[in-house]
């Protein structure tokens, strides 16, 4: 799937948060209002923002999504980086073969092999996947620092 197709099938991170129903929307907005971005990482992301796009798979009910999607919204606002969301993921507890109930989950959960959410994927503007963050940052203490790590690794290996 190319970046143009992704843009057509997703919404911006702020549109996603605005579309959430209560009580989920309040949790996302509270996190967005109270989170303090790590300044150095955000400044670096700002210098590279136009070179990358972030795609995230999210479900309003997901605790890790509640923590990370609002941070992505802040990063998008502060840096101008494009952050797109495939939202509405729902588990399928009745299925023996499929983790996600499609619909309402988008069919792209299969294309992108989504197992856990949030699944955050970083792309360059050529549509190459540079890295993934599953659920929470693993390499660095904050999401913005981990995004810098993915981008720095890709810049070195390109």
Average pLDDT of span 20-43: 96
pTM across the whole model: 0.94
Q: Is 124 left (phi over 0), alpha (psi -120 to 50) or beta?
A: beta
Output the pLDDT for position 98: 82
Output the pLDDT for position 33: 97
Contacts 24+ apart (CB under 8 A), 126-135: 127/2, 127/3, 130/52, 130/154, 133/68, 135/64
If pLDDT is split at 50, 70 and 90, which confidence band does 154 have? Answer: low
Q: Domains in the chain, ordered, with CATH? A: 3-157 (3.40.30.10)
Instruction: Provide the β-strand partners of residue 82.
Output: 53
* Arithmetic mean of pLDDT over the chain: 93
Average pLDDT of span 23-37: 97
Which is higher by pLDDT, 10 or 158? 10
Do 143 and 72 touch, CB atoms closer than 8 A? yes
């Amino acid at each position: 799937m190319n970046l143009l197709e992704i843009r057509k099938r997703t919404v911006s991170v702020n549109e996603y948060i605005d579309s959430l129903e209560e009580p989920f929307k309040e949790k996302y907005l509270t996190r967005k209002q109270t989170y303090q971005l790590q300044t150095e990482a955000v400044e670096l992301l700002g210098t590279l923002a136009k070179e990358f796009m972030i795609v995230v798979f999210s479900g309003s009910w997901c605790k890790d999504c509640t923590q990370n999607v609002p941070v992505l919204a802040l990063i998008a606002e502060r840096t101008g980086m494009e952050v797109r969301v495939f939202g509405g993921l729902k588990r399928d507890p009745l299925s023996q073969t499929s983790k996600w109930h499609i619909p309402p989950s988008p069919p792209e959960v299969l294309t992108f092999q989504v197992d856990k959410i949030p699944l955050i994927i970083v792309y360059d503007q050529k549509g190459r996947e540079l890295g993934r963050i599953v659920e929470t940052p693993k390499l660095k203490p904050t999401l913005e620092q981990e995004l810098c790590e993915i981008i720095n690794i890709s810049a070195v290996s390109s």
